[in-house]
Amino acid sequence: MKHTYLLLLGAALAAGCQSSDKTAAKAGNSADTRFDAYKNQFIEELWQHAPDWAAQQGYHKYDSLLLIPDAGQRQRDAQFYTSSQQRLRGFAFDSLSVNNQTDYRLLANQLRAFRWYADTLKDWQWNPASYNLGASVGDLLNGRHYRLDRRLRNISDKLTNAAAYYAAARANIQQPTREHTVLAIAQNQGGLAVFGPALADSVQKSGLSAAEKTTLTTRIAATRQAIEGYVSFLQKDVAAAGQYRSFRIGKALFDQKFGLDIQSHFTADEVYQEALKHKKELLRDMGQRAARLFPKYFPGQPAPADTLALITKVVSQLTLKHAPRDGFVDAVKRQIPTLVQFVNDHKLLTQDPSKPLVVRETPLYMRGGGAGASISAPGPYDKTADTFYNVEPIPAEKTAAQAESYLREYNDYTLQILNIHEAIPGHYTQLVYANRSPSLVKSVFGNGAMVEGWAVYSERMMLESGYGQNSDEMWLMWNKWNLRTTLNTILDHAVHVDNISEQDGLALLMRDGFQERAEAEGKWRRATLSQVQLSSYFTGYTEIYALREELKKRDGQSFDLKAFHEQFLSYGSAPVKYIRELMLRK
């Protein structure tokens, strides 16, 4: 899911006579007009190089296009990015409006990122999970942007080159990581379900001609064969060779990726040190709340002298309250109206009931990445489409003990915090606001740290506003949850920079974070499959909370929480450092 962000204030026009002001303004308008044309042309051309990303944004002109990920395509992409950078440098930054200065910096960063991912990180070589037709075709099949017949024709055209797509994927793979290979096998096997009975039924009930149906059915069969061949290649050739590289990218690449992805005024090392400090603060507060709660839940028993043992005992008692194994997704659905009502009653921000939120089980081709819940939001071209809240049910193959461990982690308290984070007023609400941005640049190139940071900030803000009746139970479990966010950053750094072992990583999460083993193992897996993303939550949250407190201090009694939220969200998914500069202007 891509989106955007916002930026700096523009340079003030030099003082001068009124006529010179008019001349400067006219020149600025001319520069803005040319820059607007450049932006529109760039995004239109971008979608030809990234049709699946375009579809995710609600732009379906290139749905039928399947790019073959070979050396020729990478060269064409590189030429496009290089020419786009050259054209961008042709604009004088100071001649642009404040909003276009923002877009300029966003585009400059994104173009650098494109080249860095392709030329330096080269994950197209070592991440077999980046090749999966089930995901893109599944989204087209389940979409509502066109009538079924047109969607099926686009799918048919797309599948024409399925064999060549997977052949290029096999040729690209050079010493992949074991972890991404396992994920690729699982997700492509899950993707086979997309080309199963549901698609066959859609073809048969469609208005396609008999010849079109036959052609599409043949292409579906060929695609299944190509996917099965790719899976077999990964299972046999790659696994048999055993020539895996480490999933750890090292400090130099980690720091570079952090700068491009997070766009914080903090460095990766500074965020890591801040997380270590915040961990101590959370543990101190948890100890105090656990001490108050212990007599309530363990009357007559002596409290453990060790603070960690005390917290563990109280937290373990609270986690016993949770949804049944087969009712986890339903428990999520039931909580959403309560959150909507609370936000409205406490006037925290204005919501838009016309934008649907649909809670669903996570599709098979999306499972296995380590996140039990996620949001799939419509892009700026398709603002009225449903937003899906994906909730992964507990797999049937999980033992009773494993299921219980998972349910205790997502107990009655933390499940509410999860729903605040993912849905209301977290990701779902923020992305509804982001889609209102008049700039496509600000809507398309979303900053992950702002998006995740807002969701984490929402959790604390809701509790500060009275959600949970200010109980020690809810605050203690939020502390545990926020400690998880904090440990995400610590683990991210420890894995890719400090080479922490799996055993020590799990111990960190379970001992210092009071996490259930199932959660800790899932987080370790996620840390091996991603880089930097786990640091985005704490970074964005820290910056947003600091900005709010800074504005509260500045404005005093006139500070309005709802106004702050709505102004902050009005800038799209901009890096917080740029939003901060705009909001501090008076």
Predicted TM-score (pTM) of this structure: 0.87
Q: Which two tokens mark 332?
A: 């999520």
- If asked whether residues 208 and 321 sit together in one domain, one would say no
Q: Which of 75, 103, 121 is the last residue of a domain?
A: 121
- If asked whether residues 175 and 27 sit together in one domain, one would say no
Decide if 249 is inside a domain. no
Strand order in the sheet with 373-376: 357-361, 387-391, 373-376
Predicted local confidence at residue 28, as pLDDT:
52
Decide if 272 is inside a domain. no
Q: What's the number of domains the chain is made of?
A: 3
- Find the domain containing 503 and state its range: 317-583
Which residues face 357 on adjacent strands?
387
Closest CA to 542 of 274, 257, 258: 274
Query: In 10 A of CB 84, how many CB atoms?
Result: 20
Predicted local confidence at residue 371, as pLDDT:
64
**43, 440 in Cβ contact below 8 A?**
yes
Decide if 468 is inside a domain. yes
Return phi, psi of residue 531, to 5°: -140, 130
347: left (phi over 0), alpha (psi -120 to 50) or beta: left
Q: Which of 95, 121, 147 is the last residue of a domain?
A: 121
Predicted local confidence at residue 370, as pLDDT:
59
- If asked whether residues 132 and 106 sit together in one domain, one would say no
- If asked whether residues 234 and 379 sit together in one domain, one would say no
- If asked whether residues 455 and 525 sit together in one domain, one would say yes
Decide if 263 is inside a domain. no
Decide if 258 is inside a domain. no
**In this structure, what DSSP letter does residue 59 have?**
-
Q: Which two tokens mark 75?
A: 């060269």
Q: Which of 75, 93, 121 is the last residue of a domain?
A: 121
- If asked whether residues 336 and 372 sit together in one domain, one would say yes
- If asked whether residues 567 and 448 sit together in one domain, one would say yes
Among all chains, which residue has been given the structure tokens 């969607």? 151
Decide if 427 is inside a domain. yes
Which is it for strands 357-361 and 387-391: parallel, antiparallel or unpaired? parallel
DSSP secondary structure, 112-166, as one string: HHHHHIIIII-HHHH-GGG--HHHHHHHHHH--SS-HHHHHHHHHHHHTTHHHHH
| Run of H or E including 456 | helix 448-464
Instruction: Extract long-range pairs of 87-92: CB within 8 Å, 24+ residues apart.
Output: 87/38, 87/42, 88/38, 91/31, 91/34, 91/35, 91/38, 92/31
- If asked whether residues 132 and 115 sit together in one domain, one would say no
- If asked whether residues 425 and 374 sit together in one domain, one would say yes
Predicted local confidence at residue 3, as pLDDT:
34
Decide if 1 is inside a domain. no
Regions of the chain with pLDDT less than 50: 1-27
- If asked whether residues 513 and 561 sit together in one domain, one would say yes
DSSP secondary structure, 308-349, as one string: HHHHHHHHHHHTT----GGGHHHHHHHHHHHHHHHHHHTT-S
Decide if 30 is inside a domain. yes
Per residue, the 3-state secondary structure of 271-298, as one string, reads HHHHHHHHHHHHHHHHHHHHHHHHHHHC
Which is it for strands 373-376 and 357-361: parallel, antiparallel or unpaired? unpaired
Please state the length of the chain: 586
The alpha carbon of 363 is separated from its chain's Cα centroid by a whole number of angstroms, namely 16
Predicted local confidence at residue 24, as pLDDT:
38
- If asked whether residues 519 and 552 sit together in one domain, one would say yes
- If asked whether residues 344 and 479 sit together in one domain, one would say yes
Amino acid, single-letter form, for residue 494? A
